[in-house]
């Protein structure tokens, strides 16, 4: 930051060089917009590599701000997208299918050599741009000093559970197809992301999310990306990201940012992996920030869905990035001293932690109870710390023709929603505590161990943790799902379910940080669908992408002394 004659800090004026060319090792030209401080001095460089169009307003906002603070900020279209040459390959189809590692190395070194660079580079990005950052880091570009990533899980299977995220994935592909069409000379539209969104919401969404079999989606639906989409459907049970495998090779400090309502909250595992398996000399130098936010980098705001998390929840992406870069590239003292900062919902305050998950958290069992009628929010399902004795089972029928619909944003991103639309469904079992007599803080992993039976050869079971307010309104906190064919792991072929057997399943819900307040209730919803957040299980045992058959499944949930189904919460002593 420059200063005037009185010593007062003054932001730099900014100049922008557009479509600056960088040649990759194979000769492919990638293009970037370079935001520079108007000065003869030398500055650290930030680079973000995106498939989403480097001219998007949120990118330009961040880049311009960082340039005013004394950084050269590079926004680059990745290979095969928008202004860059080459062919685009989906990250979700595997690390080995893209050139993001090689292109990342080449781009970092190219950026370090830009006029006005001091040779220090931070690679940063959100979602796919975070993917490209994590792909570049283990290649060890000599000038790479640090990494700042948000909205990118270490393992894709911890995010998808091996199940197609139908609504979000098809919407995302439709967005990307707009640029793919233009590159092929197809002017039939939509011509850009905004037009694609409008057409998807108004017309295309309901056409494709219900389409069966998915493998017969016509090629024109997603342009030249349709074959890659169909390839992706076939590898849902494969770990195609596996960043946990490369953490030992990432030899720079990293900062991971996510939110409790981020679909890709597995960004937390990037921090855990670097602290546990990264180079020893960097232990304690990594950072983790978890707010009450969803997946969008431009909406780190207090208002998320139906909830207002208060003024402390307000943040700007560029300010988080600035603090990290000031620390790692300029050596300035950070405002936050603790390596982990988490926002506790309900209390609506930030907490500093020295590790994740917090060591003081106590894994506490809340057992499922009922007299056999836990169906609907008016049923007799209960949650308590008392272990069950002899209790009748709960039953429901899951029909994939009438799935429990996901209560999410219109682009199928997770956010807080009132749960009343699903309250009276007979295929939703509801277990809830009595009214809490004191506050209860839950911070860390959440898991449901549940004993079940089904007459289907394969089916799903879902879990949703919910906060019930004193007036009876209920809002989602976190969720999980398991496809029974993966009950023994993704690389193990579990046999079809036997209708005469009972199975113990373990469902990992996304981690959370919440204060269940005195006067509230803790609620758990159990069902077999969460659509279109996750694809419907057809209950046939066939491969879902070629299967057009749908059959009902009769489900049983057990909770007795021999089969004690239980919700396991990470409770923080207060």
What pLDDT band is residue 3 in, cutting at 50, 70 and 90?
low
Predicted pLDDT at 541 = 97
Q: What does the pLDDT look like over 391-423, one tens digit per residue?
A: 999 999 999 999 999 998 877 788 999 999 999
Predicted pLDDT at 91 = 86
Hey, which residues does 368 pair with through a beta bridge? 383
Nearest to 74 by CA among 42, 111, 30, 118: 111
Phi, psi of 205 (to 5 degrees): -55, -55
**What's the mean per-residue pLDDT of the chain?**
96
What are the CA-CA distances from residue 448 to residues 159, 365, 415 (Å)? 16, 9, 21
Segment 107-111 shows an average pLDDT of 99
Task: List the structure tokens of 339.
Answer: 């390596």
Nearest to 569 by CA among 504, 534, 522: 522
Q: What does the pLDDT look like over 373-396, one tens digit per residue?
A: 999 999 999 999 999 999 999 999
What pLDDT band is residue 492 in, cutting at 50, 70 and 90?
confident
| Model pTM score | 0.96
Contact 47, 33 (CB under 8 A): no
Predicted pLDDT at 6 = 54
Predicted pLDDT at 10 = 82
What are the CA-CA distances from residue 24 to residues 31, 46, 136 (Å)? 11, 18, 13
**Domains in the chain and their CATH numbers?**
2-158+239-353 (3.40.50.1820), 165-233 (no CATH), 362-572 (2.60.120.260)
Contact 413, 366 (CB under 8 A): no
Cis peptide before 121 (omega within 30 of 0): no
Predicted pLDDT at 62 = 98
Residue 4: pLDDT over 70: no
């Amino acid at each position: 930051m420059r200063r005037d004659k009185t010593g007062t800090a003054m932001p730099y004026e900014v100049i922008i060089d557009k479509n600056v060319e960088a040649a990759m090792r194979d000769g492919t030209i990638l293009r970037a917009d370079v935001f520079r401080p108007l000065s003869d001095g030398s500055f650290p460089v930030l680079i973000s590599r995106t498939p989403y169009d480097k001219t998007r307003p949120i990118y330009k906002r961040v880049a311009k701000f960082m340039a005013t603070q004394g950084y050269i900020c590079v926004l680059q279209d990745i290979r095969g997208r928008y202004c860059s040459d080459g062919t685009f390959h989906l990250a979700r189809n595997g690390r080995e299918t893209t050139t993001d590692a090689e292109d990342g190395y080449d781009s970092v070194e190219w950026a370090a050599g830009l006029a006005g660079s001091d040779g220090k580079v931070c690679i940063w990005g959100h979602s796919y741009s975070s993917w490209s950052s994590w792909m570049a880091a283990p290649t060890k570009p000599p000038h790479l000093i640090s990494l700042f990533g948000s909205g990118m899980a270490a393992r894709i299977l911890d995010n998808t559970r091996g199940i197609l995220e139908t609504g979000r994935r098809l919407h995302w592909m439709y967005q990307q197809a707009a640029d793919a069409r233009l590159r092929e000379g197809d002017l039939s539209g939509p011509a850009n992301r905004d037009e694609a969104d409008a057409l998807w919401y108004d017309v295309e969404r309901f056409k494709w999310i219900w389409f069966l079999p998915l493998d017969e989606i016509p090629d024109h639906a997603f342009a030249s990306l349709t074959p890659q989409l169909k390839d992706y459907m076939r590898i849902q049970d494969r770990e195609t990201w596996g960043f946990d495998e490369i953490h030992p090779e990432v030899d720079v400090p990293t900062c991971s940012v996510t939110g409790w309502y981020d679909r890709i909250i597995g960004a937390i595992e990037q921090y855990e992996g670097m602290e546990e398996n990264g180079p020893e000399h960097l232990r304690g130098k990594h950072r983790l920030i978890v707010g009450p936010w969803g997946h969008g980098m431009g909406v780190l705001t207090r208002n998320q869905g139906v909830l207002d998390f208060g003024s402390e929840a307000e943040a700007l992406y560029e300010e988080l990035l600035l603090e990290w870069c000031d620390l790692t590239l300029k050596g300035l003292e950070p405002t936050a001293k603790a390596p982990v900062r988490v926002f506790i919902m309900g209390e609506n305050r930030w907490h500093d932690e020295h590790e994740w998950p917090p060591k003081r958290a106590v894994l506490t069992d809340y057992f499922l109870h009922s007299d056999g009628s836990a169906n609907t929010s008016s049923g007799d399902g209960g949650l308590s710390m008392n272990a069950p004795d002899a209790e009748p089972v709960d039953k429901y029928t899951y029909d994939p023709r009438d799935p429990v619909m996901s209560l999410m944003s219109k682009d199928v991103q997770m956010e807080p929603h009132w749960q009343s639309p699903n309250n009276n469904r007979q295929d939703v079992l509801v277990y809830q505590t009595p009214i809490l007599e004191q506050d209860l803080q839950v911070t860390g992993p959440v898991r449901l161990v549940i004993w079940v039976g089904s007459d289907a050869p394969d089916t799903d079971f879902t879990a949703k943790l919910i906060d019930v307010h004193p007036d009876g309104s209920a809002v989602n906190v976190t969720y999980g799902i398991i496809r029974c064919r993966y009950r023994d792991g993704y690389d193990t072929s579990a046999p079809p379910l036997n209708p005469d057997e009972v199975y113990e399943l373990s469902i990992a819900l996304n981690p959370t940080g919440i204060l269940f307040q005195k006067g509230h209730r803790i609620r758990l919803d159990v069902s077999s669908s969460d659509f279109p957040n996750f694809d419907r299980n057809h209950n046939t045992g066939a491969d879902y992408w070629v299967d057009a058959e749908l059959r009902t499944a009769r489900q049983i949930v057990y909770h007795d002394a021999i089969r004690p189904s239980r919700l396991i919460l990470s409770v923080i002593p207060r």
